[in-house]
Amino acid sequence: MECDVLVIGCGPAGLSAAGYAARAGYSVIAIDALAPGGQLLYIDEIENYPGVSSTSGFALAESFEKQAVSFGVSIEFMKAESIRKEGDAFIVTAGGDEIKSKAVIFASGARHRHLGCQGEEEYQGKGVSYCATCDGPFFKGRKIAVVGGGDTALTDALYLSKLGSEVHIIHRRGEFRGQKVLQDRVMAKENIFLHMNATVQSINGDGKGVKSVTLSDGSELDVNAVFIFVGVIPNSEMLEGFAELDKGFVVTDGHMRTSVPGLFAAGDVRTTPFRQVVTAAGDGAEAAHSADEYIQNL
Ligand SMILES: Cc1cc2nc3c(=O)[nH]c(=O)nc-3n(C[C@H](O)[C@H](O)[C@H](O)COP(=O)(O)OP(=O)(O)OC[C@H]3O[C@@H](n4cnc5c(N)ncnc54)[C@H](O)[C@@H]3O)c2cc1C
């Protein structure tokens, strides 16, 4: 197979990039290991994508896919396995095939590290969340648990303390890893309570929503939501040794250019402080624009 622009990953970043590149007149193949939509497919309700009133992640994914296809994008279901450059051409191996392209937009996303405790999977989308901006507003005035002790956990605990009646931070160590300034702010909040040297044994509920968590000392904490911030894992393994990575995230400039000319990265997989559908879609548009500039100068 051959195309001008190969997009790896069909989440919001990849489908946005693919649509913009196809609309600019390029032949575009977009591949995905699973299904178009990426993490959108795990979102029960999304209410913060600009211009779209509350909708399901599935419906938004369908609309991203339909629009990209209407611009001429060819979507294929295959997992990209390796990438190399031969002269100016990129060769990506996927599903036993080789795809040759002038530019590659890498939009393979990231996955949240899970606790692996009982109830975590069952209550995902029913109180268990990995994103405070996304789901915090659904728990206004309720009791919230935050698991983790790094910058994200502390920042998001502070954000959630403005929404929830109580925020309980559960951290497995005796000290936080997050910045001192964040620790000071957390300590100063009257409705934030700390549970140090504690882990979550189970997340309990009534089938419809979370009711409590059981901690490692056997105590039970009544909460309606559990926000888990114990790390994000970028899906960037195939770029190791090929492009510059920082803790696995693809290093880009503001134009989504990576350390390899002609390779662009967009969305959750790249070094960025904020991971949302709108930022991923914005990155995708920028990456397609940069790919256009790059191809014109070949
Ligand atoms: C439960 C949940 C709720 C969320 N709620 C919200 C919300 O309310 N609002 C909001 O703005 N954001 C929300 N987010 C975050 C948002 O979904 C992500 O920021 C966004 O989807 C990132 O888009 P992306 O395209 O970068 O990556 P992803 O959506 O992760 O898509 C990446 C795609 O790449 C594919 N892929 C990976 N590796 C390969 C490979 N080697 N070859 C081929 N394909 C590959 C994957 O299968 C996937 O389809 C939520 C996320 C989750 C998990």
Say what the pLDDT of residue 183 is.
Answer: 96
Tens of pLDDT, residue by residue over 219-256, are 999 999 999 999 999 999 999 999 999 999 999 999 99
Amino acid at position 249, single letter? F
Ligand 1 atom closest to residue 38's alpha carbon, by position in its atom list? 49
What structural domains and CATH numbers belong to the chain?
Answer: 2-111+232-296 (3.50.50.60), 114-228 (3.50.50.60)
Ligand 1 centre distance from Cα of residue 279 (Å): 11
Say what the pLDDT of residue 39 is.
Answer: 92
C-beta of residue 127 within 8 angstroms of C-beta of residue 118: no
- Residue 133: which pLDDT band, with cuts at 50, 70 and 90? confident
- Residue 73: which pLDDT band, with cuts at 50, 70 and 90? very high
**Residue with CA nearest ligand 1 atom 3:** 43
Count of C-beta atoms within a 10 Å radius of residue 3? 20
Pocket residues: Cβ below 6 A from ligand 1: 8-14, 31-34, 38-40, 42-43, 46, 48, 79-80, 107-109, 130-131, 134, 235, 238, 267-268, 275-278, 280
Tell me the mean pLDDT in the region 256-262. 98
- Residue 167: which pLDDT band, with cuts at 50, 70 and 90? very high
Ligand 1 centre distance from Cα of residue 48 (Å): 15
Tens of pLDDT, residue by residue over 22-35, are 999 999 999 999 99
Ligand 1 centre distance from Cα of residue 206 (Å): 28
Say what the pLDDT of residue 190 is.
Answer: 97
Ligand 1 centre distance from Cα of residue 28 (Å): 20
Give the lowest-confidence range in 53-57, 183-187, 222-226: 53-57
Does the pTM exceed 0.95? Answer: no
For the question of residue 131 being annotated catalytic, the response is yes
Residues in the chain: 298
Say what the pLDDT of residue 237 is.
Answer: 97
- Residue 262: which pLDDT band, with cuts at 50, 70 and 90? very high
Say what the pLDDT of residue 72 is.
Answer: 98
Among 4, 10, 32, 135, the one annotated catalytic: 135
Say what the pLDDT of residue 126 is.
Answer: 94
C-beta of residue 92 within 8 angstroms of C-beta of residue 80: yes
For the question of residue 135 being annotated catalytic, the response is yes
Round the average pLDDT of the chain to a whole number and report it: 96
Tens of pLDDT, residue by residue over 88-129, are 999 999 989 999 999 999 999 999 999 999 999 999 989 999
Count of C-beta atoms within a 10 Å radius of residue 126? 17
pLDDT at 42 over 90: no
Tens of pLDDT, residue by residue over 137-162, are 999 999 999 999 998 899 899 999 99
Among 32, 134, 283, 292, the one annotated catalytic: 134
For the question of residue 117 being annotated catalytic, the response is no
> Distance between CA 266 and CA 250 in Å, rounded?
9
What count of Cα atoms within 13 Å lies in the side-chain half-sphere of residue 254? 0
Count of C-beta atoms within a 10 Å radius of residue 188? 9
Beta strand pairing call for 225-228 and 220-222: unpaired
Please provide the DSSP assignment of the chain as one string. Answer: -EEEEEEE--SHHHHHHHHHHHHTT--EEEEESS-TTGGGGG-S-B--STT--SB-HHHHHHHHHHHHHHTT-EEEE--EEEEEEETTEEEEEETTEEEEEEEEEE---EEEPP---BTTTTTBTTTEES-HHHHGGGGTTSEEEEE--SHHHHHHHHHHHTTSSEEEEE-SSSS--S-HHHHHHHHH-TTEEEETT--EEEEEE-SSSEEEEEETTS-EEE-SEEEE-S-EEES-GGGTTTS-EETTEEP--TT-B-SSTTEEE-GGGBS-S---HHHHHHHHHHHHHHHHHHHHT-
Say what the pLDDT of residue 151 is.
Answer: 86
Say what the pLDDT of residue 134 is.
Answer: 85
pLDDT at 260 over 90: yes
Ligand 1 atom closest to residue 40's alpha carbon, by position in its atom list? 17
pLDDT at 290 over 90: yes
Q: Find the angle CA(246)-CA(64)-CA(263) to the nearest 5 degrees.
A: 35
